[in-house]
Amino acid sequence: MSNRTMRGLGLVTLVLATLLGSAYALGRGLVAEMGVKPSGSPANANVNGTRYADQPPATSLAPTPSASPSPSPQPVTNGDGDGPYGSLMSTGSSRVALTFDDGPDPAYTPQVLALLRQYGVKATFCVVGENAESSPDLIQAIVSEGHTLCNHSWSHDENMGKRSPDTIRADLLRTNEAIRAAVPDAAIAYYRQPGGNWTSPIVSIAQDLGMTSLHWGVDPSDWQAPGVTRIIQRVLSQTEPGSIVLMHDAGGDRRGTVTALEYLLPELLSRFQLEALPTGTT
């Protein structure tokens, strides 16, 4: 074969190789633009930044830093108190208020009432609607002995803040109706949100219904039944003038709370004036 022929074949081979390379590069580019996963790519691979449907959510990836991060949202205050969302967290005086949640309970509420009666102490009872409905006699006893009533939702709904305004209003009204079925002229001046999970709508609706949102300043966590000694220690170490103390007369085994009260009542009376939160003021 002549030298001229050999040079011609080499030139043709070079041209063909160049064309094939260009075609391959073009094909890869089209694949990337179309978001198609090339053959042989590992599962969940990215092509040109595209995330595939079978790729896990990027929850494990660090977020892209923001030049000017948005400030954390601040709660809206509807009440005049110093607690969450303007709820009442102290009595506003030197007096201390004992409050009892989740009742009435046929086993424990009478024992709490008897101890309060023994020491001449008035308290505030935050009652659950369905319990008020099933034990109207205990609602009557609470009122007749001069204690203050507080609405604590119909069924102790800790997620009330996630409900619609109509649902919240209906729940609070239903609870008030159950209380007033036992005591028609009962004053219900307070509402306490289960779990302390306050939201702006809850505070606003309670206020519309004539109820002050009632939080607390002292929580011995007696609902966890930590034992008599711990309940006593927590209450005495945390309570100061103006404290609102949270305890429970229902919702579980409350023997520890009742026993702790036998020691706490005379001890607290030696240090503070104890009062039931006043009714008729919001």
The one catalytic residue in 147, 152, 215, 248 is 248
CB 215, CB 87: distance < 8 Å: yes
AA identity, residue 205: I
Task: Give catalytic status of residue 248 as yes or no.
Answer: yes
CB 193, CB 161: distance < 8 Å: yes
Task: Give catalytic status of residue 54 as yes or no.
Answer: no
CB 254, CB 248: distance < 8 Å: yes
Q: Give CA–CA dist 101/127, Å, rounded.
A: 6
Is 87 exposed, middle or buried (CB count within 10 Å of its CB: 0-12, 13-18, 19+)?
buried
The one catalytic residue in 80, 101, 105, 222 is 101
The vertex-124 CA angle with 122 and 125, nearest 5°, equals 125
Which residues fall within 8 angstroms of residue 179, CB to CB, at 6 or more apart? 127, 129, 132, 139, 149, 151, 186, 188
The number of beta carbons lying within 10 Å of the beta carbon of residue 134 is 13
Parallel, antiparallel, or unpaired for β 96-103 and 188-191?
A: unpaired
The number of beta carbons lying within 10 Å of the beta carbon of residue 208 is 12
Q: And the tokens for 248?
A: 């429970």
Q: Give CA–CA dist 216/96, Å, rounded.
A: 11
CB 95, CB 121: distance < 8 Å: no
Q: Give CA–CA dist 87/191, Å, rounded.
A: 9
Q: Which sequence positions are flagged as catalytic?
A: 101, 248
